[in-house]
Structure 1
Amino acid sequence: MSQVKLQASELSVNYGPFTALEGINMNVKNGELVVLLGANGAGKSTIFRAISGLNKPSSGEVHFLGKEINGLSPDKLVKLGIVQCPEGRKLFPMMSVYENLHMGGFVLRKSKKEIKESLEYAYDLFPILRDKKNQAAGSLSGGQQQMLAIGRALMSKPKLLMLDEPSLGLAPLIVNQMFEVIQQINQQGTTVLLAEQNANAALKIADRGYVIENGQIVLEGKSEELFNNEEIRKAYIGA
């Protein structure tokens, strides 16, 4: 687990005159589950967008598997193995569950065998998706839609799965189930970078974490250290 899979060095992003990220230094090692903690608007999604090619960094570098990926288009990054499951799910509501999943396997489109394998993997993780595969995605419950969004992201067999606020708006019972599956995905070999406001749930399954405030990393450490940090507990766990 020593190989660094993702490395951000002095990463900054500006939106016009506004500095959204400043001097971000972070890494994710092969096989890890790393969490970015922070309030809404802290900069977590901007980090994701910079890594996945949706926002161009103002300065700094991002390396993936030892290669600089600054400036690469989002579709090329997906082919390299960086896949983002966005906040808000961003499903195709009028398309069926099966069709949404199939769209996630676009980079595998030349291999029917791989698409079938990925479909079975998604269905095994989330059996409800198999039961509802012919239903419109927009007719699913919030929890089922989040399962579908994660299943779709897994379709292209990512080397790094980035999950942006997967627990947002979900009932506590569904949140627990969601995090159990995320942990399972990680334990089965997929490296995971998780952006979350729910520090309590995220730190229970993560190896390490970074705390983001106002576009900067203010704290980092092993999950246990962060969970037991009094300031973190007051700010994010409510204890």
Structure 2
Amino acid sequence: MSQLKFNITDVSVNYGPFTALQGINMEVKQGELVVLLGANGAGKSTIFRAISGLTKPKKGEIQFLGKKVNGMSPDKLVKLGIVQCAEGRKLFPEMSVSENLQMGGFVHRKNKKELKMIMEHVYELFPILKEKKGDHAGSMSGGQQQMLAIGRALMSKPKLLMLDEPSLGLAPLIVKQMFEIIQRINKEGTTILLAEQNASAALKIADRGYVIENGQIVVKGSSDELLNNQEIRKAYIGA
């Protein structure tokens, strides 16, 4: 099998008469951490929605492990190993921490032993979740809720984990912790596609990146190339 894990070829998405994505080409290889940079409304979330099967591309192809996956239902994509941690966390606030995690592990519900092992690993990554496993998700701080959202996504044992703006609205110290954990998850073998506005923090842990503006990829390169690109620094890092 080729090392290529996932690729998007010439994908366009329309919302009615509005073109949200135009001619998107991207690839993510086994074990990589790839960042997708862009301002709010640039098209990052639409790319994620197209990959997750929540939005149907007007044209183009999405391939995962050598198989065309656009047109597949979101639940089938999760079973294949494509899992999204959505922007805004989307937790079940009245459910406990452990119940939220169990919802994330729904695809493994018949294998109780495996489910327990995955949950123990999530608790090891995020000790605060174990401490608060009986608490309502809605009672937790923003940072803790984001940890729970990532933990819930990990419960499906993703091959490709998509994180949509995980640092949004969090304090700088929590952001630093979050990116350290994301880097650890990647080093443990999970391929990650990360959509972020916090370019500086994201590029420090990423292998490569793509910059999207107005629904089109305008720049791509290694994290070092993007960090040293003066236009990128001016637009996204403020330096």
**Separation in structure 1 between the aligned mates of residue 4 and residue 169 of structure 2, nearest angstrom:** 33
Tell me the secondary structure at the aligned position of residue 133 of structure 1. coil
Tell me the secondary structure at the aligned position of residue 181 of structure 1. helix
Q: Over residues 98-140 of structure 1, what are the superposed CA-to-partner deviations in whole Å (9 max), with x where a residue is unaligned?
A: 0000000000011001100110011000000000000000000
Normalised TM-score (structure 1): 0.99
Tell me the secondary structure at the aligned position of residue 217 of structure 2. strand
Are positions 1:5 and 2:9 aligned together?
no
Tell me the secondary structure at the aligned position of residue 232 of structure 1. helix
Structure 1, unaligned stretches of length 5 or more?
none
Alignment of 1:1-239 (within 5 A): 3-239=3-239
**Separation in structure 1 between the aligned mates of residue 117 and residue 28 of structure 2, nearest angstrom:** 27
Tell me the secondary structure at the aligned position of residue 90 of structure 1. coil
Structure 2, unaligned stretches of length 5 or more?
none
Tell me the secondary structure at the aligned position of residue 10 of structure 1. strand
Tell me the secondary structure at the aligned position of residue 8 of structure 2. strand
RMSD, aligned α-carbons: 0.9
**Separation in structure 2 between the aligned mates of residue 219 and residue 77 of structure 1, nearest angstrom:** 28
Count of aligned residue pairs for this structure pair:
239
Tell me the secondary structure at the aligned position of residue 72 of structure 1. coil
**Separation in structure 2 between the aligned mates of residue 25 and residue 4 of structure 1, nearest angstrom:** 14
Shift of the alpha carbon at 1:70? 1.2
Tell me the secondary structure at the aligned position of residue 61 of structure 2. strand
**Separation in structure 1 between the aligned mates of residue 4 and residue 19 of structure 2, nearest angstrom:** 27
Deviating above 6 A after TM superposition, structure 1's stretches of 4 or more consecutive aligned residues are none
Normalised TM-score (structure 2): 0.99
Tell me the secondary structure at the aligned position of residue 134 of structure 1. coil
